[in-house]
Structure 1
Amino acid sequence: MQNFQHKSQRRRKRGVLLTHEGLERFQTAKLDSEYIDNCGQRYTLEDLRERTGVSTDTLTKVLAGDCRVDKQTLRYCFKAFGLDLNSTDYYIPELTDKSHVIRAQTHMTPYDIAGGPLSVTSPLYVERPRTEKAIYQALEQPGTLIRIKGASRSGKTSMIARIAHESMARGYHPISISFQLAEKKILNDLDKLLQWFCASVSLAMGATPTLDNYWNTLFGSKLSCKIYFEQYLLPMTQRPIVLLLDDVDRLYQHPDVADEFLYFLRNCYEEAKTTEIWQLMRFVTSQTFESYVPLHGINKPPFNIGIEIVGSPKRVRMHCNGG
C-alpha cells in the first residue's frame, strides 16, 4: 500500500511548466499565425485544440502555467506553430529554484487565456517597445491625435488599455469610450450621438451631464458639443485628458453621421493648436481594417491627421500626417 502511494505521488509530481521565455515564444508564433493564416482573427481554444491535437483543458493549463503538463504536450503545441521546444522554454518545478523563474501565470485573467482583451499586467501581451515609446512621447504633446488600425482581435483594445494605464501613471486623466456600447438608434443620429458622447465623457469625469444648459438647436449639434466641452467639461480639470475612442468603425455603418463626427474630432484637434483650453486634450482612436467603407473620414480629409499606427500585434507600421 505504501509503495503504491509512493508511486502515485511520484506520478503527480511529473510534468513541466512553461517559463516566461517559452510562453512568450509560443504566444508570438501564435499571434503571427493568427495574422497570416487566420485573417487576423484570434484562435479560440477549440481552434487551438484542432491545430495542436491537445485537449482544451490541457491547453488552458499550458497557457495559464499553473498546472504541470508532460513535455510531449508542449512539443505538440510548439510544433503546431513551427517551433522546436528548447530547454529554456520549460522547467521542472521540483528541480528549479523558483526564485529565478518568472512564472507564466502571474497576473493572468480568464480573458488572457480565452483570447479576449489582455489585462495591462498580462504576460501574454506582445511588447512593441519602439511603437509604445513613440505613443507615450506623443501623449506629451497638447492636442495630439493617435489613430490605431488593425485586424479584428489583433490587440487594439489591449493596446488602448495599456495607453490608458500609462496615461494615468503620468498624471493624465484617461477616458475610455467604446462605441460598442452605443445603440444603433444613437449611431444613426448625429445629434443623439454627440449628446451620448458628451454624457459619456461627463460621467467618466465624475460630472453630472447638463446638456440642456448648452445644447442649442440654432447652433447645431457640433457647435453645441464644442461649447459643452469648452464651457463645462474642460474648465473643471487642469490635468491633460486622454480620450480613448475604441471601436470607432461601428460608426462607418452610418457614413453621413461618421463623416460629421470625424469632422468634429478634426476641429477639436485643430483647436488645440491655437486655443489654450483645448490643449488639455489628447485623442486616441481605434478601428479595424475590415469595416472600411467609402467615407471621406477614413483615408482622406478630415481624418488623415496625427500619428497612424497600422498592423498586426507584431508587425506595426507608424507614420505621421500633417494637420
Structure 2
Amino acid sequence: MKLQQHKTKRRRGVVLTPLGLQRLQEAILSWEILNNKGDRLTLEQLSRQINISTKTLSRLWSLSSSVDHKTLKLCFAAFNLEVYEEDYTVLMEDNEIEIPSLRSETSIQARNLSRLFTEAVENHCTYPDGAVPLDSPFYINRPPIEELVYREVTQPGCVIRIRAPRQMGKSSLVLRLLAFANAQEYHTVSLKCNQIDDQCLTSLNKLLRCICWQIATQLNIDPSLDAHWDEEIGCKLSCSFYLQHYILKQCQKPIVLMLSDVDRFFDYPHIAHDFFALLRSWCEEARQNPHWHKLRLVVAYSTEQYACLDINHSPFNIGLPISLQEFTQQQVEDLARRYGIRWIPGKESARLMSLVGGHPALIQLALYYLSCGAMTLAELIEEAIANGGIYRHHLQQHWVRLQANPGLVRLYAELVTNKQGVAVDPMDAYKLESMGLIDFEGDRVLPRCELYRNYFAKQFSKIA
C-alpha cells in the first residue's frame, strides 16, 4: 500500500506592500536630496546603489512579482531602513499570499522589539524640542510638501512661504530645504528674525542695515554698508541697490535667502508694513529683472499673531504658499515604529489620535515618553490635561494667547461645550484657525482635538 505523501507549500518569495513601497520611495527621495543634489536616480543608478539587477528592481516595484526576503532587506538597508512585517507579504507556491501575524508574541519578536528600542536610543532619541535634526530617523516626510519646495527653490526668482501655527514642523522643513539648496551648490543665508535685537527694530533703517550685514557676513563678503548706503534716497532703495549691485553681483550662483520667524515683526506695525512691502518689491524685481533671478526667497512664520492683525491686510501673500498639515494615521504608526514601538495597526495609534489628532509635536512627545517607558498609553491619556502632564507647557501657551483675545475666549468657551460644533463668523474662524485651536466640519467649527476640548473646558470652569 502506497503511503500518501503530503506536499507542503513552499515559499516563493515576498511581495512589497503599498506601505512598504511608500516607505522605501520616501527614503530614496531623502537620499537623493542629501547625496545626489536632489536629482532622481534612474533605474540603472538605483541598481548600482543597491547592488541588485534592474530586472529584480522592476519586479519589486510591480507589487505583484516576488523577490527573496534577503533582496528586500538589501534594498531597505541601502537607504538605512529596517524591514517591518507590514512592508511585505509572503507569496506561497500556489500563489496564495501569507500575511505575517502581527499579534504573535514570540520570543523572536520580543528580541526584535528590544533591538529596535536600542537602535532608536542610539539614533538620537532625545527629548523632542525644536527642529528635527537632519540626521535624525524621526523626521516624517509629508508628501507632496518636500518635493514641492525642493522643486520650487530651483526656479529663478522664486518665493516660498512656509506658514503654520507653532510646533507644526516649519523649522524641520526649513533645515531640509537649506540642505537641499546646499546640495545644489547654491549659496544659503539663514536669518532668524527672533535673534534680532530690539534696538534694531526701532526703525526700518536699522532693521535693513542689520539684515544686509548678516547677508554679507554669511556669504563671506565684507559688508561695507556705509560705502553703499545712501540716506538721501531712503533705506528701502538703499537696501535694494545694496543687494543688486553689491551682493548679487559678487555671487555667481543662486542665493537662497531664508527668513524665519518673521512673525516677530507683526508686533512692530510701524516696521512690518514697509518691510513686507519691500519683500514684495524684490519678488516683482525677480520676475522682471535678470539681475535678481539669482535670489530665491523663503519666508517662514507662525500664524498665531494673525488673531491680532487686520484680516484685510495680509502681511505677505505672494509666492508658493506651504501650509503644514497634521500627520495621517499611517504616518503616526510609521513614526511609532521608528521609536521602537510595536503597535497593532489601527489600534493604539487610533487611541492616541483620538486625543491629540495628528499634531506633529504632540505625537512626537507622546512617542518619546512611551518609548522611554516613562508611562503607558493609558496613563498618558489619563493624565493629559493634568497640571503635571506632558502637554502642560503646550496647553499653557495656548491659554495665555487665547486670554489676550477676550472676544475669542467667549467664543471658544461655547465651542468646547458644544459637541456638534458651532457656526461662527468667518473672521473669528480665521483667527482661531491661525492660532491652531480649531478644525472644520463642513460649515461648523470644532476644537482641534479632544485634548484642547478637555483642557479648555477645565480652564473655563475655573473662571465661570
TM-score range, shorter chain: 0.5 to 0.7
Q: Does 1:168 align with 2:182?
A: yes
- CA shift, 1:182, in A, is 0.4
Distance change (3 Å), C-alpha of 1:101 and 1:138: same
Q: Does 1:231 align with 2:236?
A: no
Distance change (3 Å), C-alpha of 1:175 and 1:299: farther
Q: What residue number does 2:120 align with?
A: 104
Which 10-residue stretch deviates more, 91-100 or 163-172? 91-100
- CA shift, 1:104, in A, is 2.5
Q: What residue number does 2:146 align with?
A: 132
What is the letter of the counterpart of residue 185 of structure 1? Q
- CA shift, 1:214, in A, is 1.2
Q: Does 1:314 align with 2:330?
A: no
Equivalent positions of 1:273-284 (< 5 A) are 273-284=287-298
SS class of match (1:153):
coil
Distance change (3 Å), C-alpha of 1:300 and 1:91: farther
Q: 1:147 aligns with which of 155, 161, 168?
A: 161
Cα separation, 1, equivalents of 2:210 and 2:194: 13
Distance change (3 Å), C-alpha of 1:87 and 1:171: farther
- CA shift, 1:91, in A, is 9.2
Cα separation, 2, equivalents of 1:148 and 1:299: 20
Q: What residue number does 1:303 align with?
A: 316
Q: What residue number does 1:74 align with?
A: none
Q: What residue number does 1:181 align with?
A: 195
SS class of match (1:160):
helix
Cα separation, 1, equivalents of 2:249 and 2:190: 20
- CA shift, 1:126, in A, is 1.7
Q: What residue number does 2:137 align with?
A: 123
| Superposed CA offset, 1:272-323 (max 9, x none) | 1111121001111111111126657x8656721111112345379xxxxxxx
Distance change (3 Å), C-alpha of 1:102 and 1:128: farther
Task: State the number of aligned residues.
Answer: 230
Q: 1:255 aligns with which of 242, 257, 269?
A: 269
Distance change (3 Å), C-alpha of 1:173 and 1:105: farther
Q: What residue number does 2:57 align with?
A: none
The answer as to whether partners of 1:149 and 1:308 remain within 8 angstroms in 2 is: yes
Cα separation, 2, equivalents of 1:246 and 1:91: 49
| Superposed CA offset, 1:79-125 (max 9, x none) | xxxxxxx669x996994599999932465274xx2422211121111
RMSD (Å) for aligned C-alpha atoms: 3.3
The answer as to whether partners of 1:109 and 1:119 remain within 8 angstroms in 2 is: no
The answer as to whether partners of 2:189 and 2:256 remain within 8 angstroms in 1 is: yes
Q: What residue number does 2:221 align with?
A: 207
Which ranges in structure 2 are unaligned for 5 or more consecutive residues?
Answer: 1-19, 24-101, 329-357, 359-464
What is the letter of the counterpart of residue 270 of structure 1? E
Cα separation, 2, equivalents of 1:269 and 1:108: 39
Cα separation, 2, equivalents of 1:272 and 1:94: 58
SS class of match (2:144):
helix
The answer as to whether partners of 1:175 and 1:243 remain within 8 angstroms in 2 is: yes
Cα separation, 1, equivalents of 2:118 and 2:256: 33
Q: TM-score, normalising length from structure 2?
A: 0.45
Which 10-residue stretch deviates more, 257-266 or 307-316? 307-316
SS class of match (1:121):
coil
Distance change (3 Å), C-alpha of 1:119 and 1:213: same
Which 10-residue stretch deviates more, 202-211 or 284-293? 284-293
What is the letter of the counterpart of residue 310 of structure 1? S
Q: Does 1:195 align with 2:209?
A: yes
- CA shift, 1:129, in A, is 2.7
Q: TM-score, normalising length from structure 1?
A: 0.63
